Structure 1
Amino acid sequence: MILHELIDYPTLRVIWWALLGVLLIGFAIMDGFDLGVGALLPFVARTDVERRVVINTIGPVWEGNQVWLILGGGAIFAAWPPLYAVSFSGFYLAMFAILAALILRPVGFKYRSKRESTAWRSRWDWALFVGGFVPALIFGVAVGNTLQGVPFRFNEDLRIFYDGTFFGLLNPYALLCGLLSVAMLVMHGAGWLVLKTDGMVQKRARTYGSIAALLTIVLFALGGLALYYLVDGYRITSPVNPAGPSNPLMKGAEMAQAAWFANYRAYPLLLAAPALGFLGAMAAGLGLKFRMGGGVVLLSALSVLGIIASVGVSMFPFILPSSIDPRASLTVWDASSSHLTLFIMLFATAIFLPLILIYTSWVYRVMWGKVDEKSITDGHGHAY
């Protein structure tokens, strides 16, 4: 038996669908609180010292957290080439806006305190806000458009044609998902600040985080209701060969009301995902309001996990539906790399992903503890 045949092709496709979800959830949890802290910076910190406290809570870890974004992009490129081609072409300007905003973060961290000028530092503080708010918003907008379907199609030679525009992505449902993403990550960032700070910064973080948790619950509920009543989902209308070739045009598919809820009707256990999204946000909001300690960040992380997992299990087996030609929609069964490629990647992942987790755990252990104003003003132990 050839080694890669130890795991059959359909199983490998499902494994990589799950691993892609793990990487995206890992990015949302690990780098999500960085984005949330950036979005909160102008509001939870009123003085220069307080702003430096906030910045130094994420300063030592934000670069490592972005590894999850790189891993997710790499996984899409190698495991799901058609998904990479369509999404990075269709969302090109959106991706450019995200990258431009993310570039502001390292520059802001490094240059903010290079001059004593209040105006200089204020401008970089707002740059850090943009670097947190804009990616959080656009990532959510991208998910909202994915749920609605993206205007792409294939010709008979499987050449990709994208018929949408950047401003077409900014539709009401996508913006609702974008606001949900911002609220969710602000809640998560507030939980991190509660864990890492004290005094007035922590107090303000509790206030804004409580509001964000409530908005997360409300927006998640509104998004679900709109998805059921107003936004059509997708379903496959032809027999499926899970081990078939990666050719999206070999199936039939159609749009239908509430189709994204079919998996929940067939497998009620999947309702655990949206339940976790709601309950995690509720628990995090109560923890923030009633002065719970560092456990709030764990509760908000559970909410992030539940909300993102809800999207994945709702859409399965679709990974990127087409709004103009449902037949061209990309699914787990017809948009992956070859059997051998997926197996080699799984082997590499089994080696390197545990190393990343071990190293990340070690970094957080070394950097553990609160950041207070004394550690900023005494000139020792901080970089920003």
Structure 2
Amino acid sequence: MILHTLLNYDTLRVIWWVLLGVLLIGFAVMDGFDLGTGMLLPFLGKNDLERRVIINSVGPTWEGNQVWLVLGGGAIFAAWPQLYAVSFSGFYLAMFVILIGLILRPVAFKYRSKNESPTWRSRWDWALFAGSFIPALICGVAMGNVLQGVPFRLTPELYIHYDGSFFGLLNPFAILAGLISVSMLLMHGAAWLCIKTEGAIAARARTVGSISAVLTAVLFVLAGIVLWKFVDGYRITSVLNTTGPSNPLFKTAAHAPGAWMQNYQQYPWTMAAPILGVVGSLLAAVLLRARKEGVAMISSGLGIAGIILTVGASMFPMILPSSVDPRFSLTVWDSSSSHMTLFIMLVCTAVFIPLIVAYTSWVYSVLWGKVNAKDINDGNGHAY
């Protein structure tokens, strides 16, 4: 109870905002190279054996990596219920499309090797590509829409009404954000393949990865310029009540050109996030060309973390702005669960996150090493 008293409501809200970012980064970094590998499969594997090598580079671990997606969804549901309600209802069709992609992945992994027909295996290879490309693209598109504001409104009883459409999400800036998401996961997947494979596959991955890394940095900078010059941000115009009830209607807010850049002016240290996104990506390209695969993988992950942190640093304290009326926007201070709920969840997180990290580290240490054609041929039917 002493700890519960020391961790006041506003502190817990910030902690859970940070934890949400950590879980999103965990998903992007840990499952990101699986998605990137799936997208690269039809292009880097020139024959069935090479494609099996690529698939088996992620085959033993991809399911475990998706725990970060489950944790992220659970955190949004329990810690930010209003955010969960708006995003999962307003983006319903987009979420459904992502779900289709995520369903395709395990089916493709399991069914591909059930038949030796080249046509059968080729179709499942493209299904695995689609199951990786669709979530990567749509997640980026969703983030681009969040930065522009989502067309939702709240009634005085806090009922949610979403006024947008699925195709309305596919606007130019959102598509640019989607392309950043795709390119950064291609970079990450290629770096993973350089670590886990050898020979021709690794050489092709090195080339694609370095190009994708440079493209990620270029698109990221371009998106920043567009966001600064052409996309209005949002700012709170009333006095902040950081320990008040979770009711977005108790504040006032407004559109403001360049508002997403104000945090960088007020807190210069936040510039570390976009710098990390650019430098991490470019450094990954250099290290891949220099055949420093392990460090390139770390740099790629840091670049991804920097890109995600940039969004959080730009928007704070906004979490989900409303393009219908800025007053309806959800912030860190007015859309969280209760003080007790956040505290109990924090205790659970402090117990289970270290266990997940320890178990994941052990799995990767056991499965460390390169996958080659000999491993596939000598797999006694256990390889994909």
Are 1:214 and 2:230 matched, yes or no? no
Corresponding residue of 1:101: 101
- Number of residue pairs aligned between Structure 1 and Structure 2: 384
Could you tell me whether the CA contact under 8 Å between 1:375 and 1:381 is conserved in 2?
A: no
Are 1:349 and 2:349 matched, yes or no? yes
**Separation (CA, whole Å) in 1 of partners of 2:369 and 2:308:** 29
**Separation (CA, whole Å) in 2 of partners of 1:159 and 1:115:** 51
Q: Deviations over 1:22-71 (max 9, x none)?
A: 00000000000000000000111101000000000000000000000000
Corresponding residue of 1:168: 168
Are 1:197 and 2:216 matched, yes or no? no
Are 1:242 and 2:242 matched, yes or no? yes
Q: Deviations over 1:240-269 (max 9, x none)?
A: 110000000110101111100111000111
Specify the SS of the correspondent of 2:369: coil
Q: Deviations over 1:179-204 (max 9, x none)?
A: 00000000000000000000110011
Corresponding residue of 2:57: 57
Corresponding residue of 2:333: 333
Are 1:366 and 2:380 matched, yes or no? no
Corresponding residue of 1:24: 24
Shift of residue 296, structure 1, vs aligned partner: 1.2
Could you tell me whether the CA contact under 8 Å between 1:80 and 1:336 is conserved in 2?
A: yes
Question: Which 5+ residue runs of structure 1 have no aligned equivalent?
Answer: none
C-alpha RMSD of matched pairs (Å): 1.0
**Separation (CA, whole Å) in 2 of partners of 1:204 and 1:368:** 21
Could you tell me whether the CA contact under 8 Å between 2:183 and 2:212 is conserved in 1?
A: yes
**Separation (CA, whole Å) in 2 of partners of 1:382 and 1:25:** 32
Q: Quick one: structure 1 residues 265 and 3, their matched pair in 2 at CA, closer, same or farther if it must change by over 3 Å? A: closer
Shift of residue 369, structure 1, vs aligned partner: 0.3
The amino acid of 1:336's aligned partner reads: S
Q: Deviations over 1:148-192 (max 9, x none)?
A: 000000011111000000000000000000000000000000000
Are 1:297 and 2:297 matched, yes or no? yes
The correspondence of residues 1-384 of structure 1 with structure 2, limited to 5 A, is 4-380=4-380, 382-384=382-384
Q: Which moved more, 1:282-291 or 1:118-127?
A: 282-291
The amino acid of 2:86's aligned partner reads: V
Shift of residue 308, structure 1, vs aligned partner: 0.4
Q: Percent identity at matched positions?
A: 68
Shift of residue 380, structure 1, vs aligned partner: 4.1
TM-score between the two structures when normalised by the length of structure 2: 0.99
TM-score between the two structures when normalised by the length of structure 1: 0.99
Shift of residue 207, structure 1, vs aligned partner: 1.0
Specify the SS of the correspondent of 1:294: helix
Shift of residue 292, structure 1, vs aligned partner: 2.2
The amino acid of 2:298's aligned partner reads: L
Could you tell me whether the CA contact under 8 Å between 1:137 and 1:182 is conserved in 2?
A: yes
Q: Deviations over 1:111-150 (max 9, x none)?
A: 1011110000000000000011110000000000000000
**Separation (CA, whole Å) in 2 of partners of 1:39 and 1:96:** 20
Q: Deviations over 1:81-113 (max 9, x none)?
A: 000000000100000000101111111111101
**Separation (CA, whole Å) in 2 of partners of 1:148 and 1:56:** 39
Question: Which 5+ residue runs of structure 2 have no aligned equivalent?
Answer: none
The amino acid of 1:289's aligned partner reads: R
Shift of residue 211, structure 1, vs aligned partner: 1.3
Shift of residue 295, structure 1, vs aligned partner: 1.8
Could you tell me whether the CA contact under 8 Å between 1:23 and 1:71 is conserved in 2?
A: yes
Stretches of 4+ aligned residues off by more than 3 angstroms: none
The amino acid of 1:169's aligned partner reads: L
**Separation (CA, whole Å) in 2 of partners of 1:240 and 1:277:** 30
Could you tell me whether the CA contact under 8 Å between 2:376 and 2:383 is conserved in 1?
A: no
**Separation (CA, whole Å) in 1 of partners of 2:218 and 2:134:** 21
**Separation (CA, whole Å) in 1 of partners of 2:8 and 2:234:** 27
The amino acid of 2:271's aligned partner reads: L
Shift of residue 379, structure 1, vs aligned partner: 2.8
Specify the SS of the correspondent of 1:161: strand
Shift of residue 5, structure 1, vs aligned partner: 1.9
Q: Quick one: structure 1 residues 43 and 22, their matched pair in 2 at CA, closer, same or farther if it must change by over 3 Å? A: same
